[in-house]
Amino acid sequence: MIKSYDFNMADYLVIVESPAKATTIKKILGSKYKVEASMGHIRDLPKSELAIDVDNDFEPRYINIRGKADLIKKLKEESKKVKKVWLATDPDREGEAIAWHLAYLLNIDEDTECRIAFNEITSTGIKNAIKNPRKLDKNLIDAQQARRTLDRIVGYKISPLLWKKVKRGLSAGRVQSVAVRMIVDREEEIEKFVSEEYWTLDANLKEPRSKKKFDAKFYGTKENKLDIHSENEMNKILSDLNGCEYIVENVKIGEKKRTPAAPFTTSTLQQEASRKLGFAIKRTMSIAQNLYEAGFITYMRTDSTRISEEARAMAKEQIIKTYGEEYYENRYYKTKKDAQDAHEAIRPTHMDMLPNDLKDNLTSEQYKLYKLIYDRLLASQMAAAIYDTMAIDISAGKYLFKANGSKIRFSGFMTLYVEGNDNNLEEKDVILPNLDVGQKLQLNELVKNQHFTEPPARYTEASLVKALEEKEIGRPSTYAPTITTILDRRYVEREKKTIRPTELGRIVNDVMKEYFKDIIDLEFTAQMEEKLDNIAEGEVNWKQIIRDFYGPFKENLEDVEKKMEKIVIKDEVSDVPCDKCGRMMVVKIGRYGKFLACPGFPECRNIKPIVEKLDVKCPNCGGDILIKKSKRGKKYYICEKNDGTENGCDFIAWNGPNKDGIIKPAEIKKTEEDEKKIKKTKTRKTSKK
């Protein structure tokens, strides 16, 4: 039967994931194309049950997502009106799975060339994708199904056990449990750390001719490096140095090059945005998604550092035009082993879209992230920075001191961008005087300093992502949701910029370590990620991976159910009496954090917020300053008398007191709505005139 066709309608239907992306693509494709959004996943495993038939070779049972009936109906109707439906969901495993579910719902033969994928939402990128459609990639779909099935089995089998044996509401996850383990392990390292004493010795010297002063560090003897462990050892060395001449033994002049960092992958973007912009990982991905959907950057979930030849040419043109020929260098970066190289690195779609040119079209956060991505890509194609270096050996009796200097000769890529680091340390020029071998130097003073070794630092969001990537735990798409989940579950908490485990997180981790060693074993989890990658490459059947995992897992689960005893988590007792029944209230954890509750529940249902106070008084009225949290978890500071009434104090601040104990009120910023109102008012006044 020939399908009737209305030539007044669009010829093609393009289905993407988000309305923002749909809007951008509509502008590019024109009237022959209708573009609709699936609003993410349209079919999924039901939340109310395991939905994996473990007795029927792990067949998943998918259902239409609740609330999407009208959308599905609309997509079915629209698909019947056009010649061809293009499934244009995101170019990754998750996007491939969404396209597969759409094909099922819309009765599209998955063996036809119905799938188009693009790394960038530009006219060239989209039109090239339409010219080169392909079949659905069953390997990618199977890899996503395998990950989803594994995660569902682990979560839905272990979590009920935790509810029964520990506490209701707890959950376990294949990747999240490993992340919690890493954070707990780091905290235990810190707690067990025994600080050791050590000393350093610096000689402040003067070159007689130029009168220039510089510092040289104690190295040891001419034969061996010496570490100084105690003041007695230090005093012995100082005694030996008494009256010694300081003579230049060796001068080595050289050159050092510093090369730029590679273009951003998902992981490095998350790390750098955290270091330089203070963005949480989840926020970074949300902003990057908006920039991608608006057509400003390429796809933001990738672990490749490759960029297209077209992007290279655009970068070259921009660098030469802005900085000059000597600042350009055509660079290729090696993508790490096992990386998914289907997409380019994260880059601007057009290098002639300068950050400042887009500033008025972007929010403040979007502008900052776009500029970071733009500068990183441009810097990656720039020349190395060149330093002049000098290394000097100075003898003093039987001992040796060393001085190292460097001065930047050519800034290269550093003119534009320097990669951040977790210690926030900047490389500074250290300029030494010109010295000759055999020359005698004048000693101004010897400076001794006592130090103590420090424990390893707690993870920040950035350093946790880096560690997960290095240990091959999870993939680019999983880092942000993993960190968000363990924070939401209260297994870990933020302390300033670091992450530390809660008591609840430690208890769950102890249970997992004792009873489910494989699940939280780093090597086991990394091997599982490799197997999932093998599925995506078509090297192994996805159900075989599940079969191999499930047998031992099921046996272990049954064994744990018999052996594991009930764990009672005692509530922390506060020093606040219940004002209704007199019992001492206990600390509970709710959706928005800790609060006080009467232990007499259900007879007494009294609850109170936990009030934290600063030891700084309100600068307006002298009242106490309370520490509170917004619904998004951001800490703020408010006067106890700020009750919203006319006579109340209006003091509120986002930042705590500075080093001098001064706390400044929050600046009142005009919102976009305020700005629009102001513009309208000005327009009306001008019209009246």
Own/partner contacts of 16-21, CB < 8 Å, gap of 24 or more, are: 16/88, 16/89, 17/89, 17/90, 17/95, 17/98, 18/289, 18/293, 20/290, 20/293, 20/294, 21/121, 21/292, 21/293
Cα radius of gyration rounded to whole Å, the chain: 31
Residue that has been written with the tokens 């996007």 in this structure:
95
CB atoms within 10 A of CB 211: 9
CB 13 within 8 A of CB 82: yes
How many whole angstroms separate alpha carbon 373 and alpha carbon 353? Answer: 12
96 alpha-carbon distance from chain centroid: 24
Both structure tokens of 643:
């009750």
DSSP state letters, 229-269:
-SHHHHHHHHHHHTT--EEEEEEEEEEEEEPPPPPB-HHHH
Q: Is 591 exposed, middle or buried (0-12, 13-18, 19+ CB in 10 A)?
A: exposed
Out of 292, 299, 491, 637, the active site residue is: 299
Residues whose CB is less than 8 angstroms from the CB of residue 70 and which lie 6 or more positions away in sequence, other chains included = none
Q: Which helix (H) or strand (E) holds 586?
A: strand 584-590
Residue that has been written with the tokens 């235990």 in this structure:
188
Both structure tokens of 340:
């998914």
How many whole angstroms separate alpha carbon 515 and alpha carbon 525? Answer: 16
Nearest-5° Cα angle at 320, 315 to 323: 110
- Beta strands at 492-495 and 498-501: parallel, antiparallel or unpaired: antiparallel
How many whole angstroms separate alpha carbon 97 and alpha carbon 142? Answer: 8
613 SS3 class: strand
Residue that has been written with the tokens 């600042």 in this structure:
327
CB 100 within 8 A of CB 110: yes
215 alpha-carbon distance from chain centroid: 39
Nearest-5° Cα angle at 136, 132 to 137: 105
**Identity of the residue numbered 569:** I
Residues whose CB is less than 8 angstroms from the CB of residue 559 and which lie 6 or more positions away in sequence, other chains included = none
In angstroms, what CA-CA distances link 273 with 69, 369, 465, 473, 674?
A: 38, 7, 12, 21, 29
How many whole angstroms separate alpha carbon 132 and alpha carbon 118? Answer: 10
In angstroms, what CA-CA distances link 367 with 346, 364, 582?
A: 15, 5, 55
**Identity of the residue numbered 483:** I
How many whole angstroms separate alpha carbon 664 and alpha carbon 658? Answer: 9
CB 184 within 8 A of CB 509: yes
How many whole angstroms separate alpha carbon 2 and alpha carbon 512? Answer: 60
Cis peptide before 501 (omega within 30 of 0): no
299 noted as active-site residue? yes
The residues assigned a catalytic role are 299
